[in-house]
Structure 1
Amino acid sequence: MKLASLKTLLLSIVIMYLPVQTMAWGTNGHRISGQIADSYLTPKARAAIKAILGNESIAMTSNWADFIKSDPQYNYLYNWHFINFDKEYSYPEMQAFLKQDTATDAYTKINFLVGELKKKTLAKNNKLLALRMLIHIVEDVHQPMHTGHLTDKGGNDVKLTWFNNPTNLHSIWDSQLIDFQQLSYTEYTAWINHTTVAQRTEWQKAPVSQWLFESNQLAAKIYAGVKNDDKVNVYRYNFEYIGILNNQLVKGGVRLAGLLNQIFGA
Structure 2
Amino acid sequence: MNRILQNSVLLLALLSFNFGYSWGTTGHRVIAEIAENHLSGKAKRSLKKIIGTEKLAYWANWPDDIKSDTTGVWKPAEQWHYVNVAPQSNIQQFTEALKEQKGPNIYTQIKILSEQIKDRKTSAKDREIALRFLVHLVGDAAQPLHVGRLEDLGGNKIKVNYFGAPTNLHSLWDSKMVDFQKYSYTEFARVLDVKTKEEVKSIQLGTLEDWFFDSHREANRIYANSKPDANYAYDYNYKFEPLVERQLLYGGLRLAKILNEIL
TM-score by length of 1: 0.89
Distance in 2 between the 1:162 and 1:135 partners?
29
The one-character-per-residue Cα deviations of 1:65-122 (angstroms, maximum 9, x if unpaired) are 0011111210010111111112234111012223444521111111111111111111
The one-character-per-residue Cα deviations of 1:21-58 (angstroms, maximum 9, x if unpaired) are 35111100000000000000011101111111113211
Residue of structure 2 equivalent to 1:161? 161
Query: Is the Cα–Cα contact under 8 Å of residues 89 and 213 in structure 1 kept in the other structure?
Result: no
Residue of structure 2 equivalent to 1:45? 43
Post-superposition offset of 1:203: 2.3
Which amino acid letter does the alignment assign opposite residue 31 of structure 1? R
Distance in 1 between the 2:188 and 2:88 partners?
30
Q: Pairwise mapping of residues 174-213 of structure 1 onto structure 2 (< 5 A)?
A: 174-213=174-213
Residue of structure 2 equivalent to 1:21? 19
Query: Is the Cα–Cα contact under 8 Å of residues 89 and 216 in structure 1 kept in the other structure?
Result: no
Query: Is the Cα–Cα contact under 8 Å of residues 147 and 216 in structure 2 kept in the other structure?
Result: yes
Which amino acid letter does the alignment assign opposite residue 91 of structure 1? I
Distance in 2 between the 1:190 and 1:197 partners?
16
Which amino acid letter does the alignment assign opposite residue 243 of structure 2? I
Q: Percent identity?
A: 37
Partner of 1:132, secondary structure, is helix
Residue of structure 1 equivalent to 2:4? none
Distance in 1 between the 2:48 and 2:66 partners?
21
Query: Is the Cα–Cα contact under 8 Å of residues 139 and 255 in structure 2 kept in the other structure?
Result: yes
Post-superposition offset of 1:165: 0.9
Q: Residues 98 and 223 from structure 1, CA distance in 2 versus in 1: closer, same or farther, beyond 3 angstroms?
A: closer
Which amino acid letter does the alignment assign opposite residue 76 of structure 1? P
Q: CA RMSD in A?
A: 1.5
Partner of 1:161, secondary structure, is strand
Q: Which moved more, 1:90-99 or 1:66-75?
A: 90-99
Q: Which moved more, 1:190-199 or 1:216-225?
A: 190-199
Residue of structure 1 equivalent to 2:134? 134
Residue of structure 1 equivalent to 2:31? 33
TM-score by length of 2: 0.90
Distance in 2 between the 1:41 and 1:191 partners?
18
Distance in 1 between the 2:158 and 2:101 partners?
27
Post-superposition offset of 1:226: 1.8
The one-character-per-residue Cα deviations of 1:2-34 (angstroms, maximum 9, x if unpaired) are xxxxxxxxxxxxxxx975635111100000000
**Size of the alignment, in residue pairs?**
247
Distance in 1 between the 2:261 and 2:225 partners?
37
Query: Is the Cα–Cα contact under 8 Å of residues 20 and 171 in structure 2 kept in the other structure?
Result: no
Distance in 1 between the 2:75 and 2:217 partners?
30
Q: Residues 193 and 179 from structure 1, CA distance in 2 versus in 1: closer, same or farther, beyond 3 angstroms?
A: same
Distance in 1 between the 2:52 and 2:137 partners?
20
Distance in 1 between the 2:16 and 2:27 partners?
20
Q: Pairwise mapping of residues 110-129 of structure 1 onto structure 2 (< 5 A)?
A: 110-129=110-129
Q: Which moved more, 1:96-105 or 1:126-135?
A: 96-105
Which structure: larger Rg? 1
Residue of structure 2 equivalent to 1:222? 222
Which amino acid letter does the alignment assign opposite residue 247 of structure 1? R
The one-character-per-residue Cα deviations of 1:169-228 (angstroms, maximum 9, x if unpaired) are 001100100111111111111111111212221222311111110111111111111211
**Structure 2: which 5+ runs fail to align?**
1-14
